[in-house]
Chains A and B, each alone.
Chain A
Amino acid sequence: MATNADRKALSAGEFIELMEQTRFEFNEGKPPFRGDSVGGKTFEQIAEGKRRFHTGGDPNHRFEGERYLNTPNKEIRRKQLRKLVDEGGQTTVGGPMPSHPALARWHSNEFGVPDAEIDLLEKEDAFPEVLVKEGWWFDVNRSSPWPVAIATCMVGEGSKRLPGSVEHYTKLIEDARVEFARLGVKNVDRAVQLLIEHAPFGADMEHAMFGEAVVREAVDTPELQDEALRAFILVMQRNSRGKI
């Protein structure tokens, strides 16, 4: 009978395949790409969604920062910092792209939610469900072994590597442009910029490849693979609206 001590890690390729098979089964065969769907929503419904999004503040720097702090490997840590610059704002160093929180504000501004209102919303209590989802999300990135923490990006960003991703996001953004214009959005370019950043032709594709590289190189023991797969499933559960 095999004991834990006898267990061997899956090869990197086998483990990636296991993650993707797990994702496929979790999604019951449906594509894993984010919806960000605006079809059929009114201007005010989108604005309300944006208000909910801003309530309690933006968590991006917290979970990405936890991954950075968690990583003693200097090379990986610096790649994570490069990612922080993309998401915390290339403008930080004089580059062109604002931070993801700033781009989220652009979207909201175009739907009639001004910065002054967003400031107030960001000071509000988070919704209870968001509190515990984000609380766990910070913890898994803070407390897990660093390869596991970074591997959690395989759920969201990692899905951008999959076949059909480019086509999905290309259509998503094209549809959003048409729909936003129909709804009377004045500056459609500003309204869709965050969608573009999250598409596999924005910064997210590089981030997805970084995540896969970490999985291949550093999630290399049975224990790390167990923990990474458990975290992977929990992130998918966390991202499933209305199901947890």
Chain B
Amino acid sequence: MGSQLPYSPEDLAVAAQSGADFITFLKAEKQRKYPDGPAFLKAVADGAASMDDIRMWVKDLYDYWDEGLVYAIGAIYVKTNDEPSRTHMLRRMVDVEGEEIVNDLMGWDTPAYEELWLRFGEGVGLTREDVTGWQQFTRTYFSMRTLMTYSRFWDWSWLDGVATWYAADLHWREHYTKVRDALKETYGVSDEALEFFRVLLEDIDSHIGWEEEALAYWACTTERQLSAARAFRERLDIEDQLLVAVQEARTADRLPFQTPA
């Protein structure tokens, strides 16, 4: 729920879709709103972005992987009282914060997304200080903070949150696969530096199934479907907005606003 009027009795009198139809509807919404995905990712996938553009993207998105996504996922977890869903969410928190957290229990050593992103940055010629010292574009910052606050407070319910994870997973799976392939084939980035993409895409494959099951089961009323579908679209908007400024930076004469130091 953002600032929209509440759904009326007439809106809610419409019968709910079946679970399977609702999932199909969400996928269609993604295609309807963003058939091509963010322009920046398309430029990378098409080999049209420069290495400097890619370096700027790495710097500008670090806070998202380091803080925004971590917080947003934890915020939905806290709201979730369905234990099977919550268990998957906890697994995702371990994915994002680094499987090495349970090294004592499982012997795993995959680090956090933010660390893998830093290594990606090093692989394209940046130092860690280049990345962590960057003042984020304001548009990117606003997008990240919106994700955090909507995940945290009443704007999104726990089930809305699942819909937003599903949106992000569909978005990443489609576009980051193409981007990874282009980074390897067109830009010559090493496999080692691209570990972030391997880990992210494998994690998506392990989560998308339960997200669909949860949405098909729990979004069983018209109101829940309307609410979850809106949150799904809002997450697609956020993922797109996160990349507007880097696209503007590579195509306009001057840099967009950046956050104050």
Question: Chain A: residues with CB nearer than 8 A to chain B?
Answer: 57, 61-62, 65-66, 68-69, 77-78, 81-82, 84-85, 88-95, 99, 101-102, 122
Tell me whether B71 is interfacial, beta carbon within 8 Å. yes
Question: Count of chain B residues with Cβ under 8 Å from any Cβ of A?
Answer: 23
Q: Which of A69, A94, A101 contacts B78 (CB 8 A)?
A: A69
B77 contacts across to A, CB distance below 8 A? 61, 65
Tell me whether B253 is interfacial, beta carbon within 8 Å. no
Interface of A is mostly: helix
Q: Which of B78, B80, B94, B152 contacts A93 (CB 8 A)?
A: B94
Give the shortest distance, in Å, between A134 (CB) and chain B (any CB). 13
Give the segment of B8-16, B100-108, B131-139, B176-184 that binds chain A: B100-108
A81 contacts across to B, CB distance below 8 A? 93-94, 97, 101
Interface of B is mostly: helix
Give the shortest distance, in Å, between A102 (CB) and chain B (any CB). 7
Give the segment of B22-30, B82-90, B191-199 that binds chain A: B82-90
Question: Chain B: residues with CB nearer than 8 A to chain A?
Answer: 71, 74-75, 77-78, 80-81, 83, 86-87, 90-91, 93-94, 97-99, 101-102, 105-106, 108, 152
A78 contacts across to B, CB distance below 8 A? 97-98, 101
| Docked complex Cα distance between A185 and B210 (Å) | 35
Given the interface pairs A65-B74, A85-B102, A94-B106, the reply to whether A101 lies near B83 with Cβ below 8 Å is yes
Is B97 a contact partner of A93 (Cβ separation < 8 A)?
A: no
Given the interface pairs A66-B78, A94-B106, the reply to whether A99 lies near B101 with Cβ below 8 Å is no
Is A61 a contact partner of B106 (Cβ separation < 8 A)?
A: no
Could you name 5 residue pairs across A and B whose Cβ atoms are closer than 8 Å? A61-B80, A61-B81, A88-B86, A92-B87, A93-B106
